[in-house]
Amino acid sequence: MILTLETIKEMLGRLRIDELNELQRAALDAGQQDGDLILLAATGSGKTLGFLLPVLARMEDGVAATQALIVVPSRELAIQIEQVVKTMGTGLKVTCCYGGHLRETEENNLIEAPALIIGTPGRLADHLRRGNIHTAGIKTLVLDEFDKSLELGFDEEMSYIIGTLRGLQKRILTSATPAEAIPDFVGLRNAETLNFLTGEPAQRLSLELVHSPDQDKIDTLFRLLCWIGSRSAVIFCNHRESVERTSALLKEKGIVNVFYHGALEQNERDSALAKFRNGTSDVLVTTDLAARGLDVPNIRYIIHYHLPHTIEAFTHRNGRTARMEASGTAVIILGPDETLPAFIPGTPPTIELPPTATLPEKPKWSTLFIAAGKKDKVNKVDIVGFFTQKGQLKKDDIGLIEVKDFHSFVAIRKSKVSHTLQLIKDQKLKNKKLKIDIAK
């Protein structure tokens, strides 16, 4: 499609961005040249838009075939990119393919070939083997966070996927860490590298240290969260079991939180992230799964409860805050027998926590689950209308609304929830009586 200055300006307006940054301008220019492109840039630098614009610029109008494929290591990243494309208002049909929900839904979406497909390696390979994706028209391939896909052991699927793309003219590889050796099966040709990694922490990101007197750092974490107050925080643990244990212990101490890891069902993941995004919980306890592709604006604190094993993990965790023009703080909790990893530069300043801890104010929002979504023709306008009319809520009593394929989440002012549920219990949304309750 032809990307004029005017159409780019309109897309940026929908994304609430004033102008392209240096990275995005360079990527758009390089993406339209012959030869492949490797884009290295920190998380939060606008890298997604940096590769989407050249992808769109290489698409031809009026072609009833899939023209571009974006491969990502996680479903969260796939969903995030899909949302950016839709918000840009390109008018293109986009389909997202990832595990954790019905394959049949995706198969139906693929019957009429989408212009752009975004997906995870395992699910994409499955669709290709079943003949659901036709590759003859695919001329552009993006491997977003390609290092992570290879690290997660997707190399067999990645090799198979790329091997089916016979008509490729452009490969765009992105990463937030320095480029590792790129396997031959990727088939890079005359690749240009745009390296926007400085090797230094973003100036908007401050790094600080908290010493725990105990090997079990939970009491120190609790006191830190009390000191932080109601500002948003993501707590990183190294194992799923630790995530759930930490979440449970914090709840016992009165800290409202949600947890998130790879063993959860998709609707459980959706619910946890919706609650964190909409302010039902200011604290998210998670594994490194959330270090990439987690789309939550204005995260103020990153807390390394467990030390990261690698500089890549450290970089990606910290990349959840201080994004674009915002500032943020990464805090490392160090136990009595722990030392800072060699890849952490210098000695960060130490936070001295007060001797007494005061619980943060409880969040003012609660999240309701609605058992209907996009596939049921339910949208945000329908949900606002339902709750203002049937639930007698004012618009400022309704917070962030997220509509998924088969369910939705809506933030409601906590003080109104009980009365609202009573009012709507026998009411219909879009002429259907639906399950609506407090999200689990």
Q: In this structure, which long-range contacts are made by residues 151-156, counting pairs with CB atoms below 8 Å and at least 24 apart in sequence?
A: 152/73, 154/73, 154/121, 154/122, 155/183, 155/185
Distances (CA, A) of 240 to 61, 290, 312, 378: 45, 12, 19, 34
pLDDT above 90 coverage of the chain, percent:
67
Give pLDDT, residue 363.
Answer: 95
pLDDT given at position 251: 97
Q: Which fold has domain 365-438?
A: Alpha-Beta Plaits (3.30.70)
Nearby residues of 12 by Cβ (< 8 Å), 6 or more positions away? 18, 19, 20
Distance of CA 65 to the CA centre of its chain: 28
Which carries the bigger pLDDT value, residue 79 or residue 116? Answer: 116
User: What are the tokens at 333?
Assistant: 């909790």
Q: How many angstroms separate the first and last alpha carbons of the chain? A: 43
Structure tokens given for 168: 């490729």
pLDDT of 198 reads 66
- Across 101-105, 221-225, 356-360, least confident range: 101-105
Per residue in 244-259, pLDDT (tens digit) is: 999 999 999 999 999 9
What average pLDDT does this structure show over 148-157?
Answer: 80
Bridge partners, residue 398, by sequence:
412
Q: Are 301 and 280 in contact (CB under 8 A)?
A: no
CATH class of 205-334: alpha beta
Residue range 178-203: mean pLDDT, rounded: 78
pLDDT, tens only, 195-234: 888 655 445 678 899 999 999 999 999 999 999 999 999 9
pLDDT at 45 over 90: no
Q: Let me know: does 36 contact 190? Beta carbons within 8 Å.
A: yes
5-195 classified as CATH 3.90.1510.10: no
- Bridge partner residues of 179 (DSSP): none
Per-residue pLDDT, 172: 96
Average pLDDT, the chain: 90
Are 234 and 308 in contact, with CB atoms under 8 Å apart? no
| Amino acid, single-letter form, for residue 57 | A
318, 271, 321, 314: which is closest to 296 by C-alpha?
321
CA angle 394, 395, 397 (to 5 degrees): 70
pLDDT of the residue at 295: 66
**Domain-by-domain residue ranges, the chain?**
5-195, 205-334, 365-438
Residue 208's beta-bridge partner residues? 331
Rounded-to-integer distance, Cα 332 and Cα 311, Å: 14
Instruction: With H, G, I as helix, E, B as strand and everything else as coil, classify residue 403.
Output: strand
Q: Is pLDDT larger for residue 316 or for residue 366? A: 366
pTM equals 0.66
Looking at residue 202, what is its pLDDT?
Answer: 47
Rounded CA separation 185/192 (Å): 18
**Residue 404: pLDDT over 70:** yes
Overall average pLDDT of the 344-372 stretch:
92
Cα–Cα distance, 152 to 73 (Å, whole number): 8
Contact between residue 35 and residue 191 where contact means Cβ atoms under 8 Å apart: yes
The pLDDT tens digits of the residues spanning 286-342 come to: 998 888 767 676 788 999 999 998 888 888 888 877 554 456 889 999 999 999 998
Query: Do 5-195 and 365-438 have matching folds?
Result: no
**162-181 mean pLDDT:** 88
Q: Count CA atoms within 13 Å of residue 197 on its CB side.
A: 19
